[in-house]
Amino acid sequence: DVRHAVDRLERLWEPNATDKGIGFVCEIDDNVPSVIRGDITRIRQVVYNLLSNAVKFTSKGEVKLRVSAEETGQDRAKISFSVSDTGVGISEEAISRLFTSFEQADNALPFPPYRQYPNHQQREILAFYGL
């Protein structure tokens, strides 16, 4: 259930955002189906990691998770999960390297390597699902 998964993510990350003094918003379009076929555990993992980085690198403003759907045929839809924030941002050059093994954007806060999320694994998961 997509809405249940998003609700769990919201309950997890909203307190962290509130503790930092930033907003946390979740939006699910009305046309998003409740049930989807796919590996919700992997989808949740990727969205979790994106939210983690968004909350970590946002010091003011908000983090937003938006879920939308585009019908692609009979009983089929393309579901999009979008994470946006008002954090430090990432340069275009850094974006091209973001999904390589243990890459961190140049203007990111310095965290020890063990605290960095393996973006290359997220890219592999997304590629597996054709995203």
Torsion of CA 113, 51, 118, 97, to 10 degrees: -90
Confidence of residue 121 (pLDDT cuts 50, 70, 90): low
List the single range of 51-60, 74-83, 109-118 with lowest mean pLDDT. Answer: 109-118
Please give the average per-residue pLDDT across 1-10, as a whole number.
88
Say which CATH class 2-128 falls into.
alpha beta
pLDDT value at residue 106 = 54
pLDDT of 120 > 70? The answer is: no
- Per-domain residue ranges for the chain? 2-128
- Do 33 and 71 meet the contact criterion of CB atoms below 8 Å apart? no
Decide: 47 and 81 in contact? Cβ < 8 Å. Answer: yes
pLDDT of residue 123: 60
Asked whether the beta carbons of 116 and 88 are under 8 A apart, the reply is: no
Confidence grade of residue 115 (pLDDT, cut at 50, 70, 90)? very low
Contact 61, 23 (CB under 8 A): yes
Q: Quick one: tokens of 86?
A: 């008002």
- Global model pTM greater than 0.75: no
The reported pLDDT for the residue numbered 88 is: 82
| Inter-residue contact 32 to 68 (CB < 8 Å) | yes
CB 85 within 8 A of CB 59: no
Average pLDDT (31-48) is: 85
Bigger pLDDT: 100 or 24? Answer: 24
The radius of gyration of the chain's CA atoms, rounded to the nearest angstrom, is 15
Mean pLDDT of 67-77: 87
Does the structure show a pLDDT above 70 at 117?
no
Query: Rounded to 5 degrees, what angle do the CA atoms 79, 85, 88 make?
Result: 140
